[in-house]
Amino acid sequence: MVVQGIVDKAAIRSTDVVMEVGPGTGNLTVKLLDRAKKVVAVEYDVRMVREVLKRVEGTDHARSLHVIQGDVLKVALPFFDVCVANIPYQISSPLLFKLLAHRPMFRCAVIMLQEEFAQRLTAKPGDDLYCRLSVNTQLLAKVDQLMKVGRNNFRPPPKVDSRVVRIELRNPPPPVNFNEWDGLVRLVFNRKHKTLHAVLTTKSVLTVLEKNFKTYMALRGKESGEVVAGIEIEGGKTGVPIAGGVKALVEEVVALPAFEGKRAAKMDLDDFLALLAEFNQRGVHFSS
Ligand SMILES: C[S@@+](CC[C@H](N)C(=O)[O-])C[C@H]1O[C@@H](n2cnc3c(N)ncnc32)[C@H](O)[C@@H]1O
């Protein structure tokens, strides 16, 4: 029933190429082959590769199944319309981010995840599980919770329940530099209940921001030939020091009415986008 549920929720069309991650012995694979034009399965374990190929041997499905033996995190993903994955939960996060960055865009991914991980993906500001994973995922994709799969559906039963989710990439993608975005949310979700001021004005954070600031200003100076405020550019040029340095810029941003007293735990995507824009406008960057 679980396998059939996953196949139904994936709404596969007869023209689709489906990428299945971790086919194992092929329980899901054969059902996908019933619906899709082609299934490309990525399987790490050579014994499982043999099993799944044996399962379709001599059937009509043999021609529509292609198996790539390898680690899904390392191989170049093939073209696909729909991804279906039932994979070990340790690789949920890296696989999710590989899919979120994958191009060309695919129609959807239907993935079985650990219940708590799935809840994190859709958590909203103020929820206990709201975290960096929530905002990063929601920035790049729309996630729907499809069905809960209790632990007793498995033999032997694992310690946790599972959940099937559907992921659709946002198209067009958001106009934001993801490294900058992730650099900022990583910092503020480190201590999500602290104010932005408390998190972003610690000595260690300011040291990193200062370093990034110098790198960006030096690049800008090199490109335009201008001497940028406060920065010693390689070759000996110096500019006028900004009073208070990067710390003053950070304090100026976190004191803006939109951000004063705010904490990551209660901020939504628009708040983070606006915050990042204010920093970047002042030359404060979160990726080097
Ligand atoms: C939980 S089983 C899924 C079995 C099958 N999909 C089913 O529903 O009956 C996970 C499968 O993922 C494969 N796998 C684990 N890590 C992988 C990786 N990094 N890349 C590709 N396959 C992987 C395992 O070898 C195993 O066959």
145 and 255 in a single domain? The answer is: no
10 and 137 in a single domain? The answer is: yes
161 and 224 in a single domain? The answer is: no
Tell me what pLDDT residue 214 has: 86
If you search the block for the tokens 């979700």, which residue do you land on?
A: 189
Which CATH number covers residue 276? 1.10.8.480
**Alpha-carbon distance 211 to 274, whole Å?**
23
Q: Which residue has the higher pLDDT, 218 or 279?
A: 279
CA 73 to ligand 1 center in whole angstroms? 12
What is the pTM for the complete model shown? 0.89
Last residue of a domain, one of 150, 169, 188: 169
Asked if residue 86 has its Cβ within 6 Å of ligand 1, the reply is: yes
Which CATH number covers residue 81? 3.40.50.150
14 and 57 in a single domain? The answer is: yes
Last residue of a domain, one of 142, 169, 196: 169
- For 22-42, how does the pLDDT look when each residue is reduced to its tens digit (9 = 90+)? 999 999 999 999 999 999 999
Which residues define the annotated binding site for S-adenosyl-L-methionine?
1, 22, 43, 71, 86
**Alpha-carbon distance 174 to 87, whole Å?**
28
Distance from the first to the final alpha carbon of the chain: 48
Last residue of a domain, one of 169, 187, 207: 169
Nearest CA to ligand 1 atom 18: 71
CA 17 to ligand 1 center in whole angstroms? 19
**Alpha-carbon distance 276 to 23, whole Å?**
41
Checking phi first, is residue 99 left (phi over 0); if not, alpha (psi -120 to 50) or beta?
Answer: alpha
151 and 40 in a single domain? The answer is: yes
104 and 21 in a single domain? The answer is: yes
Query: Above 0.90 for ipTM, yes or no?
Result: yes
Provide the residue range defining the domain that includes 142.
2-169
Residue 138's contacts (CB-CB under 8 Å, 6 or more residues apart) are 121, 122, 269
Asked if residue 88 has its Cβ within 6 Å of ligand 1, the reply is: yes
15 and 144 in a single domain? The answer is: yes
Residue 18's contacts (CB-CB under 8 Å, 6 or more residues apart) are 10, 12, 32, 36, 38, 39, 40, 80, 81, 82, 83, 84
Position 240 pLDDT exceeds 80: no
Asked if residue 84 has its Cβ within 6 Å of ligand 1, the reply is: no
236 and 118 in a single domain? The answer is: no
10 and 121 in a single domain? The answer is: yes
Tell me what pLDDT residue 245 has: 85
Spatial strand order of the sheet with 162-169 comes to 65-69, 38-43, 17-21, 82-86, 108-114, 162-169, 141-149
**Alpha-carbon distance 135 to 11, whole Å?**
27
Q: How many domains does the chain have?
A: 2
